[in-house]
């Protein structure tokens, strides 16, 4: 059975019989975990092992664990800094900041891979602006070149720990005030401006070999009337064509208000897949998941299947070895020092 085009969530810290039924559906390709799914390191390892055992090839397991206020697992995990704190260090000590970005990416990935999580939705490639309610300190920096250099270093660390990277939110979410979790952001700028500013980190990370990208739930009316994740112009003509991106495209959560261009979750999934997404996230709405599983007509796309297989985690330190790792202890000390100077 190949992996399907839907990534879903589960209710608790262990799989229920209803969860197992959903995850057995051929339209499902992965699971995204949340804070409610974590109790302890041993519990998480058992949960990911069971999820991976359900199917062959194994379902993908993902989490939002980028640092700062977006870190789903906290007890017994290293507290990761907001990326902007690394960017602030870059202004004064660029070489140190790049090293810190690499080591932070490695530690984030190593702690997750040791417990069976395939990847985190990271790094953030958006630009920092004071006006953005949803991005702000989640971004490395306000300048595109700095974001690109720091994100590439962070990605290098992730790869070193056996984890693929997912850059977000293409072509840039940092320049809008609205939060797409609750409303539809609209960015009136011209494509030339976006190319020159917000898209630069994405262009450079594509060249650096980033594994996957996630589009923003934003409308850029000067380019297309549709939000980016539903737009063939953005995903096919610009991302695949102009930027030459060959990796995987994840939709952002189709349950978000910024994705609500259609009432039916089935139609939302159909529109996202037709635009060029390889897999659609549908979170915190089991009824919508069941509607999509019952109503989506879809044939596996060979290229999408290949891209999904490349997202599986690679060889990693086991948890006992990681806990004793001198590198882990050194990174934790460096992050503690960074927090002390913030």
Q: Is 312 a catalytic residue?
A: no
Tokens of 19: 């969860």
Angle at CA of residue 279, ends 273 and 284, nearest 5°? 110
Residues 6+ apart with CB under 8 A from 263: none
Measured distance CA(309)–CA(2) in Å, rounded: 9
What are the residues whose beta carbons fall under 8 Å from the beta carbon of 218, sequence distance 6 or more?
169, 173, 176, 180, 184, 185, 186, 187, 227, 228, 258
Contact present, 270 and 6 (Cβ < 8 Å): no
Q: Measured between alpha carbons, how far is 180 from 41 in angstroms, rounded to an integer?
A: 32
User: Degrees (nearest 5) of the Cα angle 161, 167, 171?
Assistant: 170
The catalytic position among 25, 179, 181, 285 is 181
User: With helix as H, strand as E and coil as C, how does 215-261 read?
Assistant: ECCCECCCCCCCEHHHCHHHHHHHHHHHCCCCCEEECCCCCCHHHCC
- Residues 159 and 177: their CA atoms lie apart, in Å, by 32
Strand-pair partners of 170:
215
Question: Among residues 252, 253, 278, 319, which one is catalytic?
Answer: 252
181 is annotated as an active-site residue = yes
Do the bridges between strand 60-63 and strand 28-33 make them parallel or antiparallel, or are there none, so unpaired? parallel
Q: Which helix (H) or strand (E) holds 62?
A: strand 60-63
Which residues are catalytically annotated?
181, 252
């Amino acid at each position: 059975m190949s992996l399907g085009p839907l990534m879903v969530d589960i209710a608790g810290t262990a799989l229920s019989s209803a969860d197992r039924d959903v995850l057995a559906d051929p339209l499902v390709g992965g699971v995204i975990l949340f804070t409610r799914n974590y109790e302890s390191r041993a519990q998480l390892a058992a949960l990911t092992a069971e999820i991976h055992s359900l199917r062959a090839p194994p379902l993908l397991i993902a989490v939002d664990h980028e640092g700062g206020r977006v870190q789903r697992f906290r007890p017994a995990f290293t507290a990761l800094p907001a990326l902007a704190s690394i960017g602030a260090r870059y202004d004064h000590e660029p070489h140190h900041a790049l090293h810190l970005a690499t080591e932070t990416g490695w530690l984030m990935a190593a702690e997750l891979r040791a417990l069976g999580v395939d990847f985190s939705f990271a790094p953030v490639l958006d630009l920092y602006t004071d006006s953005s309610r949803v991005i702000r300190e989640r971004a490395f920096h306000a300048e595109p070149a700095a974001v690109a250099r720091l994100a590439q270093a962070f990605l290098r660390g992730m790869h070193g720990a056996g984890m693929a990277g997912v850059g977000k939110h293409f072509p840039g979410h940092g320049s809008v005030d609205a939060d797409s979790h609750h409303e539809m952001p609209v960015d009136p700028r011209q494509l030339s401006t976006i190319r020159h500013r917000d898209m630069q980190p994405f262009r450079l990370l594509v060249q650096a070999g980033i594994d996957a990208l996630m589009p923003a739930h934003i409308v850029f009316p000067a380019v297309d009337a549709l939000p980016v994740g539903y737009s063939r112009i953005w995903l096919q003509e610009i991302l695949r064509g102009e930027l030459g991106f060959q990796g995987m495209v994840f939709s952002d959560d189709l349950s978000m208000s910024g994705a609500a261009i259609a009432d039916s979750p089935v139609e939302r999934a159909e529109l996202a897949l037709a635009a060029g997404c390889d897999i659609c996230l549908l979170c915190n709405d089991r009824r919508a998941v069941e509607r999509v599983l019952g109503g989506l007509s879809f044939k596996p796309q060979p290229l999408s299947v290949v891209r999904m297989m490349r997202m599986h985690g690679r060889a990693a330190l086991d948890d006992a070895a990681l806990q004793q790792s001198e590198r882990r202890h050194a990174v934790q000390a460096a992050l503690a020092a960074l927090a002390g100077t913030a």
